[in-house]
Homo-oligomer: A and B are copies of this chain.
Amino acid sequence: MTDTFKSIVIERVSPELDSGRYPVKREVGETFEVWADIFKEGHDLIAAVLKYRTQRSQSWRDVPMRHVDNDRWMGSFLLEENTRYIYTIEAFPDPFRSWAAEVAKKIAVGQDVASELSEGMALLRQTIARLSGRDRQALQEYARRLEDAPTQADAVGVAGEPELEGLMTRHLDRNAATVYDRELEVVVDRMAARYAAWYEMFPRSQGREPNRSATFQECEARLPAIQAMGFDVVYLPPVHPIGRTNRKGRNNALEAAPGDPGSPWAIGSEHGDHKAVDPALGTLADFDRFVSAVRARGMEVALDFAIQCSPDHPYVKEHPEWFFRRPDGTIKYAENPPKKYQDVYPVNFYGEGWEALWDEMKSILLHWIGHGVQIFRVDNPHTKPVSFWEWLIREIQAEHPDVIFLSEAFTRPKMMRVLAKVGFTQSYTYFTWRNFKQELMEYLTELTQSEMQEYFRGNFFTNTPDILPEILQHGGRPAFKLRLVLAATLSSLYGVYSGGYELCENAAVPGTEEYLNSEKYEYRVWDWDRPGHITDYITRVNRIRRENPALHAYKNLRFYPSEDDNILLYGKMTSARDNVILVAVNLDPFAPHTSVLHVPLAEIGLGSEETYQMHELITDTRHLWKGSANRITLDPAVEPAAIFAVRRWTRREQSFDYYF
């Protein structure tokens, strides 16, 4: 026997992204299944193991794989740690099991197997020679029994004992192994990477006084309300000092009026750089206290990471080589002709000082990680080199695997995907602009059912400081409610920008998706009790999310037929089917619609003639349905959406709930 060539074919390994060029993603606590085609020439039986280790460990563990069907094998292990795991596959000829199978066939047709029995004994002896301890003794006992067997048939009977096969397979000759060409990687994130409700707020607008910035202390006062609504992440736009040169005024005016605070994305001034906080918000110590207060309420802070500088940023003087220069030596501001962003200098990732620049960017993240931040929402990553992000995220997560990166890339689909592949934990999506049934189904199916599910986690924002979508501008309160339900139940990750989402704020700069009087350029004071607010509705939807584990998963989304084009029907269930959620949404905020819904009885595990309970969780009402086809009417003026927990209608429930 030689090990100088690979005798076993191992291919079509799944999951495997772009031949292992990029890692796939999972979350702690999941069982990780690895599939592969594994086969060899001829009739020899083979065995295979799935090998894995964490990135910090040099020693492999392995679990046996089993043959499922048609040369397809599967093995699995539990992802216990928030880290990167490496995995690969090894397969071996299994001469003893091959021999046992052959000799059993021969004895069954009455052939003499004296020679075969000697061969089997030789295999046994070879294995014994390699072993010590208990297994060696057990095999020696088997060898004795084989030799002493009164008849050939008895010997073949001993040879076929499962314990013997188990021992021999456990101690296969690994020298004959074929090792899969590639070592693959799975990034195992903590659960917040997959399941979280985000609340985006401008800290400077969390006070009661117009014309001055609120402070981190004032922000703390908002936390009980945010916690009560059920959010998990409090996301802050940049909190750093804002430049004065070319500062933008209200509604993006070219010149700021005295007292205008400027865009927080124009970072850096004489008060400091990306590692400082805007003095108007407080001190670093105030920031730390705010972070602790958020933590104390079971939430966490997400910070904006925007790589750009105001003309007053200290880098401009200290590192002019990090910027784009004109032939006359002046530094170029950002442009997207004909638009000009005079208050922002983009950074040159290809300039002479690029290595120092990359290191400096890393040090910014480490700085904020040191101040308790574990989530970064990254501004416009698609305008920086993809290689930079791959390097940066890997560097950070090597030491801090709990850090989560959200990519704010609203751009071409392939760029959005590759940013997720190179490391972004989550990504913004096109959800914000998908309003109709067919486009929602197509897009969500792509996100959750195609290969994208291996690496791209869509964080569904209803709105952002830059995007007040048309449906919210014109659809009123029903639109705010239905878009919230869609975001919160289509994806396990979603967010709202609180620049009035709970207040149904819908005033836009005419003809644009920009907010009128946007917080990006001025202080706002919000009346959180303003009539028409949907705070209670948000609270209820977030509680429904929390109480139903089916809604904590991302890839379990399935669409089901509803006969009306305005009504979208979809569901999520746990793999044990002990939590089954069906959601029906009227996508038209203006008019009631009625539709027959087709409940997927077989998938849920219900009989076609069985009565079952549909517990509508927003209104907390219960309905008894039977059969697949059931009619529903959704009036947006009352409730544009229904979230049903589907339950088997058992005798016990009957006795309690019959009249509800």
Contacts and interface: CB of A to CB of B under 8 A. Distances in A.
Given A109-B338, A338-B109, A413-B70, A383 B122 contact: no
B412 A39 contact: yes
Interface stretch (A2-10, A371-379, A487-495): A2-10
Contact of A7 (B2, B7, B350, B418): B350
A387 B5 contact: yes
Interface string A345-387: 0000010101000000000000000000000000000111111
Interface stretch (A47-55, A56-64, A111-119, A501-509): A111-119
B337 A102 contact: yes
A326 B19 contact: no
A418 B9 contact: yes
Contact of A11 (B18, B181, B326, B413): B18
Interface in A96-123: 102, 105-106, 108-109, 111, 115, 118-119, 122
A23 to B, nearest CB: 15
A336 B41 contact: no
Interface residues of A, number: 53
Contacts of A102: 335, 337
A596 interface: no
A115 B326 contact: yes
Identical chains bound together, number: 2
Contacts of A37: 414
A467 B118 CA distance: 37
Nearest to A8: B386
A415 interface: yes
A113 to B, nearest CB: 10
Given A7-B385, A111-B338, A181 B415 contact: no
A2 B355 CA distance: 10
A536 B524 CA distance: 92
Given A6-B387, A386-B9, A70 B414 contact: yes
Given A119-B327, A338-B111, A5 B39 contact: no
Contact of A384 (B41, B335, B413): B41
B338 A7 contact: no
Nearest to A103: B337
Contact of A109 (B115, B336, B337): B337
A44 to B, nearest CB: 10
9 contacts: A2-B350, A2-B352, A5-B385, A9-B386, A41-B382, A70-B412, A111-B337, A118-B328, A119-B326
A-B pairs, 8 with minimum CB distance: A19-B19, A105-B337, A118-B327, A109-B338, A5-B387, A42-B383, A115-B326, A71-B414
